[in-house]
A and B are shown apart, each in its own frame.
Chain A
Amino acid sequence: DVKVTQSSRYLVKRTGEKVFLECVQDMDHENMFWYRQDPGLGLRLIYFSYDVKMKEKGDIPEGYSVSREKKERFSLILESASTNQTSMYLCASKRDRGQPQHFGDGTRLSIL
């Protein structure tokens, strides 16, 4: 089975801090994704990557950046955390475009 591991289940940070969310997958998948999930808004795509060192903006990239230095790891960076970035963050990976996505358990991030 594919395993997608997110480094933290719960995280509390302060406004203005630089926050790193880490995601690792163990199935050599080409594609990796970061979403945020908010009540009433569903899942929204922040960034995705289809190869090492490649990244593409999703629907809501503002305030975020990403890094993919190794195939198995995809990091989401909040450059200067703000309270409106309090959310559930979900990482996913998949092999190619015709395949389903595999999700991690999520990181519930609170910005105080």
Chain B
Amino acid sequence: SQQGEEDPQALSIQEGENATMNCSYKTSINNLQWYRQNSGRGLVHLILIRSNEREKHSGRLRVTLDTSKKSSSLLITASRAADTASYFCATAFHTGANSKLTFGKGITLSVRP
């Protein structure tokens, strides 16, 4: 399976600290995506990084991708209480005209005020 596996499963930090979440996968990918899910809501797309990219930024978010190690990390800098959510990595593999997205089980991030 090429399912992404996130690490750690749960993370608790103080407001203002940085949060680093990791994702590993097993097979070749075309891109890797990170999503956030607030309790009881749907997933919200954060960042997509393509297999030929190594790093991408969006506001306080920084994503890295190391295809040789089959791993990615999501860094949230200067965390806020509002960042409390579950975070999922998802790996995309293109097959013909379609693309299969496989999600990991998620990381629960708690940011203490």
Contacts and interface: CB of A to CB of B under 8 A. Distances in A.
Majority DSSP secondary structure for residues of B touching A: strand
Interface string A71-112: 000000000000000000010100001111111111010000
Task: Give the contact-size bracket for chain B.
Answer: 20 to 34
A90 B42 contact: yes
B45 A42 contact: no
Contacts of B25: none
B42 A98 contact: no
A4 interface: yes
B105 A42 contact: yes
Contacts of A101: 33, 43, 45, 101
Contact of A41 (B43, B88, B94, B105): B105
B88 A105 contact: no
A50 B97 contact: yes
Interface in A34-69: 40-43, 45, 48, 50, 56
A43 B50 CA distance: 22
B94 A42 contact: no
A45 B102 CA distance: 8
B10 to A, nearest CB: 13
B42 A103 contact: yes
A102 B45 contact: yes
B104 to A, nearest CB: 6
Contacts of B31: 98
A90 B105 contact: no
A55 to B, nearest CB: 12
B88 A43 contact: yes
Contact of A50 (B30, B33, B98): B98
A40 B42 CA distance: 17
A99 B99 CA distance: 9
Interface of A: 4, 31, 40-43, 45, 48, 50, 56, 90, 92, 97-106, 108
7 contacts: A42-B3, A42-B106, A90-B43, A97-B97, A97-B99, A98-B50, A99-B48
